Amino acid sequence: MRSADRGLTSALRRYLAGAGSPLDILLLAAPVAVLAELWHWGPLPLFFTSCLAIVPLARLIGVATESLAARLGPGIGGFLNATFGNATELIIAIVALRAGLDAVVKASLIGSILGNVLVVLGLAFLVGGARRRFQSFDRTAARAAGAQLAVAAGALLIPAVLDATAPIPSAAMEALSIAAALVLLLGYGAGLLFTLRTHAPPTVAEQEAAQHQDVLGTGGAVILLVAATVAVALMSEVLVEGVKGVTVDLGWTPMFVGVILVALIGNAAEHASAVTAAKDDQMDLSLAIALGSGAQIALFVAPLLVLLGFGMGRPMNLLFDGFEVAAVAIAIGLVNLIIHDGESTWLEGIQLLVVYAVLAAAFFLHP
């Protein structure tokens, strides 16, 4: 136990010495969020203090994972970023599902996909290309990730089209969702095999270029990663408790809260990691984070929630709102159009962000 405490203390010292940020002051919001829950300050303080606390905690996840990625390469590094970043989304979704907030759960899944492929990738292209004419990345890996996203869009579209064209009993839709969830998990596993084994990109050059950023060491990075993930999980539970206050007291719809607010907070780790990688011209890592996380939400997190919901007695199907599905289809189509040439510019980043801004306004108005 003492050894673990010393390891965490050492990791934090290295982090503060080499990668501290002014945003870390927001860590003070974590104990405030705990007090707000213990002293029953109300749902709005719960929601906003937990949101503020998750931002620097997610940054800790990003820094720790970048340190590991510097040693393990962009493929595994991107997978680690996507996995630990989406652990927050998964925890939020499980807690919300148990509370009966199905609409928020589904909206947060859609928002996470949109946030990764439009906001995270858009900011990465913008920041990375600000001082460069263009940036290059591995086209094979990018196209594979784009194809995975297209599969995800199809999986979300099929139940919506089926429901719109034929009267389907709810029990039949649940059975379809369970079957689709199992198939999507197999497809996700195949995608991992492709990305990490059979078609893994060359990593030696990027590993050497990123070594100077490894301020934690492997042991320190793992300890900090686990500690930050646990803290994010705790704050996520507080966040879910405050969601009801935002929808009732402020009049915001569950769809808007899930698609925009909850999803952006849950993706904070991917924002920081992907943008930092792009700024350092590590575009393979940046795309692996952004596209990999978006695909993982649709092909792993959503199917897993379907199966977990069935096991918890809180069944959740894959029937999403028509506008949500249309938004995902637009975003994924645009991203595949942009990444097909293996190069990116700052203008393409602006284009992705513009589409997201328009969609956010539309979700705010959606009843």
Domain ranges of the chain: 2-365
At 182 the pLDDT is 92
**Residue 251 zone, left/alpha/beta (φ > 0; ψ -120 to 50; rest):** left
Tell me how far apart the alpha carbons of residues 76 and 200 are, in angstroms, rounded to a whole number. Answer: 9
Q: Hey, which residues does 43 pair with through a beta bridge?
A: none
At 347 the pLDDT is 94
At 38 the pLDDT is 85
At 123 the pLDDT is 93
Tell me how far apart the alpha carbons of residues 273 and 289 are, in angstroms, rounded to a whole number. Answer: 8
Tell me how far apart the alpha carbons of residues 258 and 363 are, in angstroms, rounded to a whole number. Answer: 10
Angstrom CA distances, 360 to 102, 111, 254, stand at: 20, 9, 13
CB atoms within 10 A of CB 354: 12
pTM across the whole model: 0.81
Residue 209 main-chain phi, psi, to 5 deg: -70, -30
At 346 the pLDDT is 93
In the structure encoding, which two tokens stand for residue 330, read together?
A: 């637009």
At 360 the pLDDT is 92
* 82 in Cβ contact with 271 (< 8 Å): no
Helix (H, G, I), strand (E, B) or coil at 315: coil
Helix (H, G, I), strand (E, B) or coil at 135: strand
Q: Which of 219, 275, 230, 278 is nearest to 14 (CA)?
A: 219
* 10 in Cβ contact with 220 (< 8 Å): yes
Q: Give, in words, the CATH class of 2-365.
A: mainly alpha
At 195 the pLDDT is 66
At 212 the pLDDT is 43
| 131-167 exposure pattern, b = at least 16 Cβ within 10 A, e = fewer | eeeebebbeebbebbbebbbbbbebbbebbeebeeee
At 262 the pLDDT is 81
367 residues of the chain, pLDDT tens digit each? 455 555 555 555 555 455 566 777 888 899 999 898 888 888 888 888 988 888 888 778 777 777 776 677 666 665 665 566 677 778 778 888 887 778 888 988 999 899 989 999 999 999 999 888 889 998 888 888 888 888 888 888 889 889 888 888 888 999 999 999 999 888 888 877 776 666 655 444 444 444 444 556 777 788 888 888 888 778 878 887 787 777 777 778 888 888 888 888 777 666 777 888 899 888 988 888 888 888 888 888 999 999 999 888 888 899 998 899 999 999 999 999 999 889 999 999 999 999 999 999 999 888 7
Q: Cα angle at 92 between 90 and 93, to 5 degrees?
A: 65
